[in-house]
């Protein structure tokens, strides 16, 4: 039985992480907390699993999120961070870096101090701190700095293009997603799987990987979930049987 915190729970991938955690029985996930600027849609649902398991902390000022960590009850065993923005939404790469790197790392430091055991980050394919490409370098530096905190278990999930619905998608991004979905449809996934994955698939994969890490099923302290494993872990929905044995 594990308790979890989701940061970035209102985004495309984070919302699927949250829904997956809430769908699991208390014997697997006893409580789920979120920190976000607005209420996750799941918080307004009337299902018994949501009302008994979910505690949403709302703070519009992200600079105050760190101060919420010590008051979390219970202190989560697993933290899932899908916190990220785009260069366009942030108003430039420097401001994007403040969210994708600085805020993620600062929050990771705070939850480590609070006693969190397992940390799962939604990163990106090609993340590399030595990359000449700004986005991949930023993601790689974020991984590097979180790994340096030495959680008992660290999981980096590295998806490709994240397809599925997202609020505020830009025209070029939307076009790429249409291409990915079209190629996936006509090829049975063969022309899509190597570079794009759906948000719900990534979310399920992240949840499964985090629980596996918490149980000590990965031999290394740091486990990287590449695109192939994302598909293996996330493609099939959770069945009732799996929910009882995951």
pLDDT 10s digit of each residue in the chain, 246 long?
A: 899 999 999 999 999 999 999 999 998 999 999 999 999 999 887 676 676 899 999 999 999 999 999 999 999 999 999 999 999 999 999 999 999 999 999 999 999 999 999 999 999 999 999 999 999 999 999 999 999 999 999 999 999 998 865 554 555 445 544 454 454 444 444 444 565 889 999 999 999 999 999 999 999 999 999 999 999 999 877 765 455 555
What is the model's pTM? 0.87
Domain at 2-161+199-245: CATH architecture? 3-Layer(aba) Sandwich (3.40)
Q: pLDDT tens for residues 193-232?
A: 565 889 999 999 999 999 999 999 999 999 999 999 999 9
Do 79 and 154 form a contact (C-beta atoms < 8 A)? no
Q: Is 170 left (phi over 0), alpha (psi -120 to 50) or beta?
A: beta
Pairwise CA distance, residues 85 & 93, whole Å: 10
Concatenated DSSP letters for 3-47?
A: EEEEESTTSHHHHHHHHHHHHS-TTTEEEEEEEESS--GGGG---
Distance CA 60, CA 49 (A): 26
Q: Where are the domains of the chain?
A: 2-161+199-245
Residue corresponding to tokens 């985090």: 210
Torsion of CA 72, 141, 166, 64, to 10 degrees: 30
């Amino acid at each position: 039985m594990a308790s979890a915190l989701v940061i970035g729970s209102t985004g495309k991938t984070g919302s699927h992480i949250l829904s997956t955690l809430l769908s699991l029985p208390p014997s697997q996930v006893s409580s789920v907390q979120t920190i976000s600027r607005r209420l996750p849609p799941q918080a307004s649902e009337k299902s018994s699993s949501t009302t008994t398991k979910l505690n949403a902390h709302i703070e519009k000022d992200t600079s105050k999120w760190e101060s919420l960590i010590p008051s979390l009850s219970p202190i989560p065993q697993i933290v899932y961070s899908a916190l990220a923005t785009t260069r366009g939404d942030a108003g430039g790469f420097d401001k994007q870096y403040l969210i994708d790197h600085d805020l993620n790392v600062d929050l990771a430091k705070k939850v480590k101090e609070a006693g969190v055991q397992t940390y799962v980050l939604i990163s990106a394919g090609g993340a590399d701190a030595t990359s000449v490409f700004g986005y991949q370098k930023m993601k790689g530096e974020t991984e590097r700095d979180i790994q340096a905190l030495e959680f008992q278990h660290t999981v980096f999930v590295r998806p490709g293009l994240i397809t599925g619905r997202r609020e505020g998608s830009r025209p070029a991004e939307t076009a790429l997603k249409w291409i990915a979905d079209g190629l996936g449809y006509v090829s049975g996934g063969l022309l899509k799987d190597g570079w794009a994955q759906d948000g719900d698939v990534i979310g399920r994969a992240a949840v499964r990987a985090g629980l596996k890490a918490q149980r000590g099923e990965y031999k290394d302290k740091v486990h990287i979930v590449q695109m192939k494993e994302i598909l293996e872990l996330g493609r099939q929905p959770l069945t009732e049987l799996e929910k009882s044995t995951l």
